[in-house]
Amino acid sequence: MRHFAFALALLAVAPLVAAPVPKAKKAELFPSAVGTKWEYTHDGDAKDVWVEEVIECEEKDGVVTFKVDITPSAGEKKFEVYRLKDGVLELTATQDGTFDPPMLIAKVGMKAGDEWKSKYTLKSDGLEYTMENVLTVGKAEEVATPAGKFTATPVTRAQNGGRFKSTFWFAEGVGMIRQTADGQTEPAQDLKAFTPGKGKK
């Protein structure tokens, strides 16, 4: 995915110790309420913090569609649009274009050993790029991040024949807490702080 990435301006008087992550009132694998916010460090750099926030959310006929604004520590803002239907989370669009069909991210109730294929076409500026991912679910385990410790389920995404592999870790009530990539010693994204949303779901 993309992914889920953001920029945070820290106050000079802010404490160096990360504040505890608030507990969600209702456990959701993919929080989508407006105002939900994630802050991630990138590539092990504590100063490179990206902020991701849900700015729009609509539910119709049991399908939840929500838009996430991404503010990197440098450069232009980005966005991602997700769809949650029947417990399946999919990416439908980013600033780079739309996905047809949507790209599978993960599923509610997933368990170790589950495997799915997701073939999709990215349509961007009149061009089309067709890709296929194989997603494999690993065993849930405790993961320590700058925001605290979580019990999280890993989903490994192998793209285009396994040439590119990334693993995304999901925790109930929080969403993605970590992303790792083959060949990197530090997490590509690591959760620094999480704020539950209070807006419309």
User: What share of the chain has pLDDT > 90, as a percent?
Assistant: 79
CA-based Rg of the chain, rounded to a whole angstrom? 16
Contact 178, 144 (CB under 8 A): no
Note the pLDDT tens digit of each residue in 10-44: 222 233 334 454 444 445 889 999 999 999 999 99
Residue 189, Cβ neighbours under 10 Å: how many? 28
Cis peptide bond prior to 31, omega within 30° of 0: no
Residue 71 main-chain phi, psi, to 5 deg: -115, 105
For 24, which DSSP code? P
User: Which residue type, as a one-letter code, is found at position 29?
Assistant: L
Note the pLDDT tens digit of each residue in 87-142: 999 999 999 999 999 999 999 999 999 999 999 999 999 999 999 999 999 999 99
Q: How far is CA 86 from CA 70, 109, 129, in A?
A: 26, 11, 27
Note the pLDDT tens digit of each residue in 151-182: 999 999 999 777 889 999 999 999 999 999 99
Note the pLDDT tens digit of each residue in 47-88: 999 999 999 999 999 999 999 999 999 999 999 999 999 999
Residue owning tokens 């170790």 = 112
